[in-house]
Structure 1
């Protein structure tokens, strides 16, 4: 082998090694690239209302007094190791009740006990929510972390329709009769005079909300996760509970039903000057007379308790808090293999 052959062989070897290294690096980059994937989720949990009938100033009491339920489903897409998004639908029931919230201490909550309002509302929430995973996912769903904490932030459209029960009638002056009670939609009644001259327009039954929350996801196997979430959802409505402003003039309300649901506290009785409008709490059937007597015995004039809504020291509109426990199914993806050359 001549000197020239040795030089030529060396050059060819260097080119071959360099080309192999370049191809290997390119294949490494292709193999390490994150592969987006999708999954669907179904779950349920609790729903809690915050507003005029359950104040922000006592979140623990509010959280445990009247929790209700929610169910939901979502389509989720993981775009990068850290970022994903979902489109979801959630049906959540919320409720509030002055009597239930205040019955253990009527004197402390005298104005709310005397007001005696309640409601329930079924929320239909359509949301677009982004999630940030605090622990990066692997290249494929199979390589995702066993436990992944994450944060949520999004926007939602919420359809709602607050309702309340008609008053209880009394048999023989003592036993409440619940046989004729009905849930009545409150917005069409204009319980604060909405729609009448000199009053605000009727409030919308559709509002925007801003879901914000935290969650943790646990990988069961290649195809399934379980997850737990909690999120607070402030809305742009002050009328999830049908309560937002002062009492209207009863004469301005168009129907006896509107007058009944507007003010459930007291009536002007010509004989006594003032009388309890509803002795029995409409939602529970409990007798409210003892609480009213405690308030009067503490030197508080029930007639002076005239606040309906909008009196909170914290100027925040109505919100709801959802907890959710989910099962998540990862949709299989086709892994693209590098071409054979």
Structure 2
């Protein structure tokens, strides 16, 4: 970088650093809090990590970004958060361009990364307080105390990070991300490697943050996590965003139902008289499973029950089960491979 460019950059950073917190918070609040337009990213090796991504994330929602390993989830988040330089395209964070208005955009964002990148010999209190100061926030011990208590870290505030368990360290990462009171929080695999109790505690925290107005963007390999919490779901595969949909609408449109019949006896195979119903045997031959689309005008359940009676196959109980988000996700990826 030449001397003139360096002077211009330093002057711009100094001016942005002087911008009062209140003026940043008082800027217009569009309904769309993250806007990604025609974003592509190609590395020097020629690998196309992202291909023409267009995405809008709404203020105050929980948005789950799903995809297999290497699909581009972390690359997309890293670009929005300013960790990786974008290739082609535009990204706005609460109306601020992440390149030309970097400081204003980054001020709005908190990031909980996958990796535990913290100073092992700092105390919990010091590392969270330092993260707040990095964003130019004034000291607020009361707020830091609240964050640590919300994350069950208060009794560890004077402990060095090296002494903490993996689950506790992940809580510290969340505390650091929340330290400057961001309006957008990115959680990149936040519950990887944590126990079930901590995972549910984190779900409660995420809901509380959303209730307070924070927009949450979540990536996870635990699909039940997205099913439990997300308002909308995006699916990315091989660098392409293949679907963005309200979770409830997605499950309504693509979800299927299974009728599970618990038989009085067991079957070794499905009788030819029932072949027209595309049944499956399960539970060692003691269950018959019929999969159908609940939105069809004719589900053929009545005909199935009649044919069971004619074939002298009796059942002692029955239940229905709705497709899970995980099953829908797997079927989408399977369709993409075809």
Larger helix percent: 2
Q: TM-score surpassing 0.5?
A: no
Category of TM-score, reference length = shorter chain: under 0.3
* Structure with bigger gyration radius: 1
Taking structure 2 as the reference length, the TM-score comes to 0.19
Larger strand percent: 1
